[in-house]
């Protein structure tokens, strides 16, 4: 176990550089799924590895040994190493659990404010009387419809076809439940520092998914690209006066807009081979990390059995 248990903790440092290549190299929907699987899988494997590091040190205490019916501590490192290592791993586990719980609770609370109190509402759309251009999708809780929020300033900045494309973009965020993918990415980032770098490609891939949905809805990729570009330009004309969005919101004007516009217009470089290679690396990292965690678990289980009464 002493070697296998470290693999899940080190694997994210190898996986993240490959993950950054996915957003432009793969279809957006595939990139989102693979990035989600990567973040969740590596985070869970890392948490399991931390839990496995706690056990050998914990068995050095008589109370734990009695509960586990051990006649001797499990095989492993010396007490001078095992106990401090277990304490550090336990502290990390508790810190991760606390941070993830706070993030989920905060997100749940934000979902309860899906309908702004001000501004006329028409179906899923809420129009805020604000001259500052802004538009975003605000998801709701399960069973509660989300809202598309747009200011009068944004409506005035776009022509009718561009407004249709913008609303289709925000609607795609709601129907695709994209906020759940961002929560997974945020939770994974709290479990391992290397996984923080997955958040940006995840947000980009989600925006690309909505961009493609908008282009399909209006039947013209140029209109969708123009709507996204003009919306971003209008929203950033005076950044100091930009409206404050809820943290759960997803906005068409967010992220690297020039890259998204280039992708819609077919000007982005084709990187299919790079995408396949990056996907293969990520899948390999997931398999190796999961297998190492399971191998370490099995090794620890064998050590516990050997240390129990009747097996020593």
pLDDT of 75 reads 54
pLDDT recorded at residue 61: 63
How close are the terminal C-alpha atoms of the chain, in Å? 19
Give the pLDDT confidence score for residue 81 in this predicted structure. 73
- 298 vs 5, 44, 75, 154, 290, CA distance in Å? 11, 17, 13, 58, 12
Check residue 210 and give its pLDDT.
95
Please give the model's pTM, rounded to 2 decimal places: 0.85
- pLDDT at residue 311, as a whole number: 45
Q: What is the pLDDT along the chain (312 residues), one digit of tens a residue?
A: 567 889 999 999 988 888 877 777 788 998 999 999 999 999 999 999 999 888 877 776 666 565 655 555 665 556 667 788 888 999 999 999 999 999 998 888 877 665 554 555 556 888 989 888 989 998 887 777 788 999 999 999 999 999 999 999 999 999 999 999 999 999 999 999 999 999 999 999 999 999 999 999 999 999 999 999 999 988 876 554 455 677 778 888 877 899 999 989 987 665 667 777 888 888 899 999 999 999 888 877 677 666 665 444
Q: What are phi and psi of 58, to 5 degrees?
A: -65, -35
Distance CA 201, CA 272 (A): 17
C-alpha to C-alpha distance for 285 and 246, rounded to whole angstroms: 35
Return the pLDDT at 54. 85
Pairwise CA distance, residues 308 & 312, whole Å: 6
Q: At what angle do helices 221-235 and 160-175 cross, to 10 degrees?
A: 90
What is the pLDDT at residue 295?
87
- Return d(Cα 219, Cα 64) in angstroms, integer: 65
CA atoms within 13 A of residue 153's CA, in its CB half-sphere: 17
pLDDT at 238: 54
């Amino acid at each position: 176990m002493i070697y296998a248990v470290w693999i899940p903790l080190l694997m994210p440092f190898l996986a993240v550089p490959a993950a950054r290549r996915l957003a432009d190299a793969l279809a957006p929907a595939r990139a989102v799924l693979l990035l989600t699987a990567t973040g969740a899988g590596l985070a869970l494997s890392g948490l399991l590895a931390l839990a496995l590091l706690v056990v050998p040190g914990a068995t050095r205490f008589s109370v734990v040994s009695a509960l586990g019916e051990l006649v001797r501590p499990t095989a492993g490192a010396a007490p001078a190493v095992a106990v401090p290592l277990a304490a550090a791993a336990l502290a990390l586990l508790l810190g991760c659990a606390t941070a993830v719980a706070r993030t989920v609770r905060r997100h749940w609370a934000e979902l309860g404010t899906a309908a702004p109190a001000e501004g006329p509402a028409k179906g899923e759309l809420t129009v805020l009387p604000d001259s500052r251009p802004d538009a975003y999708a605000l998801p709701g809780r399960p069973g509660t419809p989300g809202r598309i929020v747009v200011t009068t300033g944004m409506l005035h900045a776009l022509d009718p076809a561009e407004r249709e494309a913008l609303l289709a973009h925000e609607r795609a965020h709601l129907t695709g439940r994209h906020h759940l993918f961002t929560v997974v990415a945020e939770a994974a980032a709290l479990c391992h520092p290397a996984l923080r770098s997955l958040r940006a490609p995840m947000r980009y891939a989600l925006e690309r998914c909505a961009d493609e949905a908008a282009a399909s809805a209006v039947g013209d990729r140029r209109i969708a690209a123009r709507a996204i570009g003009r919306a971003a330009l209008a929203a950033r004309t005076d950044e100091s006066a930009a409206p404050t969005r809820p943290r759960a919101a997803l906005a068409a004007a967010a992220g690297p807009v020039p890259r998204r516009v280039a992708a819609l217009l077919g000007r982005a470089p084709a990187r299919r081979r790079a995408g396949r290679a990056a996907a293969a690396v990520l899948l390999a990292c997931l398999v190796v990390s999961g297998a190492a965690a399971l191998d370490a678990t099995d090794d620890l289980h064998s050590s516990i059995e050997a240390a129990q009464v009747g097996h020593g």
